[in-house]
Amino acid sequence: MITLEDVWLKYRIAFKEGARAVCEDFWALKGIDLNVGKGECFAVIGENGSGKTTLLRVISGMLMPDKGRVRLGGRVAGLMEIQAGFHPELTGRENIYNISALSGLSADETGACYADMVEFAAIGRFINAPVKTYSQGMLVRLAFAIAIHARTDILLVDDIFAVGDIYARRKCINKMFELKDKGLTIIFVSHDLDIARRLCKRGVLLREGRVIRAGSIDGLVSYYLETVGNKEGIALLQKGRLAIIFNNGKLIIRWNDSALTKGAAGHTVMSSSGRTYQSDTASWIIRQPAAADEIVAVGRWPDMPAELIWKIRCRGEKEFSWDVTLQARAQARIEDYTARLILTDEYEGWFTSQEEYVFPEAFLHENEWQSRRIDDHLNWLIGLKTGADSGEGLPTLVLDSSGADKQGACQIGNTGIEASARGIQFNYVNPEPEHAAGSYKFFSTGVKLFEERDRQDFECYMARARQAGRRRIISRGPLALCCGQRKIEIFLRDALLSSGAGLDTKFIWQGRTYSAAGGNWSVEKEGDNYLVVNIFWGPEAPFFQVWRMELRDESAIFWQADMEIRDGLEIRNRQVELFLSGRYDRWFTPSENGDFGAVEKKGNTVILSKYINDFSGVEQSCLMPAVTFANQDGRARVSYISRGQDKELNTKLHYLEIDPAADAALEAGRHAFFKGAIRIAPRQGQKGVDAVVNNNGAAAAINFNGVSLDFRHGRMRLFYEGVELTKGLGLYSAVLHEGNWHDSSQGLWKVEASDRERFVAVGRWPWLPVRQEWEVTLLDGRDIIWRITRDTRDGFDPDKEQVNLMLSDNYREWFVRERARGRFPEEFAEHTRGGFWERLWSAAAQSPVGAKGPGLPSVLLDCSESPVPGRLCIENTDALFKARVLQCESAQQKHFSGKIKIC
């Protein structure tokens, strides 16, 4: 029906330069060749000014070409300008008859279809009003009604759907599909690529008056979307059949002239100060690259004080790299960052270094992804492949981020219905800047392509990948330890026990807190049950850590962390953390246990224990096994158990080292940071705790005639015939300085002498110039003599000192011999940080104070013979401790001598 052969057309343009007019020839069409068959719907697409409208004018005969031939096989009608042919002063009815006559219809023929035209135009009484009063939508419907009822074989449509209301647009589009079904030949020009795709199968893409691409409409639209936009932000790398296009914040991959990406293609999104910044909304410029096979693009937003830098490097016909960094000024704080790659749905399956999956057949949701999260230890290598019967179609595509220094949480799956594609997404939360101020290295990956003919190379590559993946996993029986980027995951069979970072270390150097989860990790496997993790913090940090993880049996993980120091420096606040699932309900220590839900949450975290303990853990619950975390390195550490609820419910077992000032300064060389064990108990109950506990020289036990005392790290537990009478800290001392109480469990202790009935222990507070010596003697199984000698240095003078006996809440009554008595309150006050306990009685220490309860022996505290007797107090603790306290308090207590009696 339509043939164009080497068609050229020029306009003569008059340019005014000052007082002169200069005429120049402008070639609007350059060597156009095309053929359109009968009944075909043919699309012409391109940017503004590419020559689309000029081409239609040449086909319609409105313009004669300067060169070439145009041949038509039928009559032509056009919808190229809405106002064309209309007389503004005439009514709609009068214009129908005028324009129809120009199209070759007689008055009778026009009258025969007049009612159909009016019905389609749907303008009511306005058919008898001047068309100058019509809206754009009314004009579109009327012009379209006249054109489709004209005697024509070829219909030319020039983007008339860009104007008018949605009703007019929908009505005209539906009519176009009817005309197509009736066999009318249509040349369709539109910027609405979705309609072009639905209406046409073939077309041409024009650029600067030339046909730069012809063929299937899908290929044309894909290529057009990939290359349209600000030319300063577009660059192309071509190596053989591989083409990589950067287009203003989008990364497009083409292979053999077919697009592997789709829609939004490769792009990034970040959040800062509550705002979202997507890469394809930035203003981009292409910088001069360092090499010919490289693209360096810089993007900026007007309200974001930062530069987003993409570097894409082609490493061959089947491989390239994609690196994204951000250079931000100090006031820019990045909250999270996402890198996405949207790929064609011709890919039917995906794989990691260890596993293979098939994409769901259907796209179920409008916009929400139907995706699967990939564990960190697997997501460093992700690939997509076509089906077994695809033949020489799309290549297998692999994202390999093994060389990246950080790994984000990864998801892969089907996008929403609108995109109907496969999506891969990496998300990074609270990314840390690199050593250069404000410089973030967000994302880095290599992309490799494998054809069917490369099957042997692909198998070798995957074999190496599986070997590399196994270097990150050790297992013994049902217990497995998986090391990802900045994360340790603990599995028992298929159950994930850990949460968040899994294991972490923290410390302070030069006022800044460093965490292992914020460092750069390298992982090596030494044998089937042994992993070594090296952790670095950049060139400005003169240290690194070495972790050794070992599985000695099917239920225990042994963890040793060392610090390698290059220069002498001070390290403070050394601590280690084990993050566990939030599904655990109960916790325990050597002397306590409790329910996480029993203490009301304050803020974002509930802290449930804060004493020096050899171990702490969580009890079996919700089909999760009990877990014990033990300190084995001989250093005194305060243990905390907490439940955090900020973003992800998790349980944390935490050790904070009590580091004396003398130990903070470290010489160059290797230093022990932590040594401990994690015991995963059988599901039948808590067992094997003794295997991971080390008393490390700060413990003693004495017993006589049914009474026993257990001393550990500055606190003492009291038992009678196997039943514990104390709770929490048990027997302990405390010093008040500058408004803060420092109890003896926070000191560094050493047992210097011990036998069956007596022990001597010496303790020092790390940050106070205080030394205490305890001498504890058990007499005849009924009386406990407790003597304390205190020394201070540097003129230190504490505000107050206490000796405390913390008893079980099973004690219900208190008494002062022959003077007063009362009942302990059944309710405990709400725990508040820095709050005071409820004082029930207080007087000068003249008579013993005591407590009694059902089925328990009475316990008395007698301080009458102490050199400085002080005051005796009886208190009820808050809801955190839930205990009864007998207390002796004084302003100066260099020497204390007291007696605890079991009655």
Element (H, E) at 655: strand 650-657
Q: Are 377 and 482 in contact (CB under 8 A)?
A: yes
What percentage of the chain exceeds 90 in pLDDT? 36
Note the pLDDT of residue 388. 62
Within a 13 Å sphere around the CA of 344, how many CA atoms are in the beta-carbon half?
A: 20
* Nearest alpha-carbon partner for 781 in 848, 708, 853, 711: 708
As a whole number of angstroms, the distance between CA 480 and CA 617 comes to 19
Q: Residue 557 contacts by C-beta under 8 Å, 6 or more apart in sequence?
A: 479, 481, 490, 549, 550, 551, 677, 678, 680
Q: Are 668 and 564 in contact (CB under 8 A)?
A: no
Pairing of strands 283-287, 294-301: antiparallel
Note the pLDDT of residue 56. 92
Position 187 pLDDT exceeds 90: yes
Task: Give the residue with greater pLDDT, 861 vs 170.
Answer: 861
Note the pLDDT of residue 389. 55
Structure tokens at 53: 């409208």
Structure tokens at 527: 């044998």
Task: Give the residue with greater pLDDT, 266 vs 893.
Answer: 266
**What does the pLDDT look like over 278-333, one tens digit per residue?**
999 999 999 988 788 999 999 999 988 889 999 999 988 999 999 999 888 766 77
What percentage of the chain exceeds 70 in pLDDT? 89
**What does the pLDDT look like over 705-745, one tens digit per residue?**
889 998 987 889 999 998 999 988 899 999 888 877 888 88
As a whole number of angstroms, the distance between CA 476 and CA 181 comes to 68
Note the pLDDT of residue 693. 41
Instruction: Tell me the pLDDT band of 494, cut-offs 50, 70 and 90.
Output: low
Position 268 pLDDT exceeds 90: yes
From its phi and psi, is residue 85 left (phi > 0), alpha (psi between -120 and 50) or beta?
left
From its phi and psi, is residue 271 left (phi > 0), alpha (psi between -120 and 50) or beta?
beta
- Which one of 239-248, 434-443, 519-528 scores highest in mean pLDDT? 239-248
What are the angstrom distances between the C-alpha of 882 and each of 222, 534, 873? 69, 44, 17
**What does the pLDDT look like over 594-649, one tens digit per residue?**
777 665 554 555 666 666 677 889 988 767 889 999 988 777 677 888 876 544 56
* Nearest alpha-carbon partner for 56 in 39, 31, 78, 40: 78
Mind spelling out the 3-state secondary structure of 104-136? CCCHHHHHHHHHHHHHHHCCHHHHHCEHHHCCH
The region of weakest confidence among 177-181, 289-293, 760-764 is 289-293
Position 507 pLDDT exceeds 70: yes
Instruction: Tell me the pLDDT band of 82, cut-offs 50, 70 and 90.
Output: low
Residue 505: CB atoms within 10 A of its CB come to 22
Note the pLDDT of residue 434. 56
Note the pLDDT of residue 686. 38
The region of weakest confidence among 14-23, 59-68, 693-702 is 693-702
**What does the pLDDT look like over 41-70, one tens digit per residue?**
999 999 888 999 999 999 988 899 999 999
Q: Are 342 and 425 in contact (CB under 8 A)?
A: no
The region of weakest confidence among 156-160, 263-267, 798-802 is 156-160
As a whole number of angstroms, the distance between CA 713 and CA 696 comes to 10
Note the pLDDT of residue 690. 41
As a whole number of angstroms, the distance between CA 103 and CA 106 comes to 9
Residue 714: CB atoms within 10 A of its CB come to 25
Structure tokens at 850: 């005591």
As a whole number of angstroms, the distance between CA 58 and CA 65 comes to 7
Structure tokens at 844: 């000068």
For the segment 245-255, the average pLDDT, to the nearest whole number, is 92
Q: For residue 560, give the amino acid letter.
A: Q
Note the pLDDT of residue 692. 41
CB neighbour burial string for 363-383, b if at least 16 within 10 angstroms, e if fewer: beeeeebebeebbbbbbbbbb
* Nearest alpha-carbon partner for 597 in 630, 631, 621: 621
For the segment 791-795, the average pLDDT, to the nearest whole number, is 82
**What does the pLDDT look like over 352-366, one tens digit per residue?**
988 899 999 888 888
For the segment 744-767, the average pLDDT, to the nearest whole number, is 86
As a whole number of angstroms, the distance between CA 10 and CA 28 comes to 5
Note the pLDDT of residue 764. 86
Q: Where are any strands of DSSP class E within 552-603?
A: 556-565, 569-570, 572-581, 586-588, 593-595
Position 570 pLDDT exceeds 90: no
For the segment 146-157, the average pLDDT, to the nearest whole number, is 84
Note the pLDDT of residue 21. 79
Placement of tokens 């003129």 in the chain: 795
The region of weakest confidence among 15-19, 118-122, 455-459 is 15-19
Instruction: Tell me 830's DSSP state.
Output: P
- Which one of 69-83, 297-311, 648-662 scores highest in mean pLDDT? 297-311
As a whole number of angstroms, the distance between CA 209 and CA 50 comes to 5
**What does the pLDDT look like over 415-466, one tens digit per residue?**
998 889 999 999 887 666 654 556 778 888 999 999 988 988 898 888 877 7
C-alpha R_g of the chain:
41
Mean pLDDT, the chain, whole residue set: 85
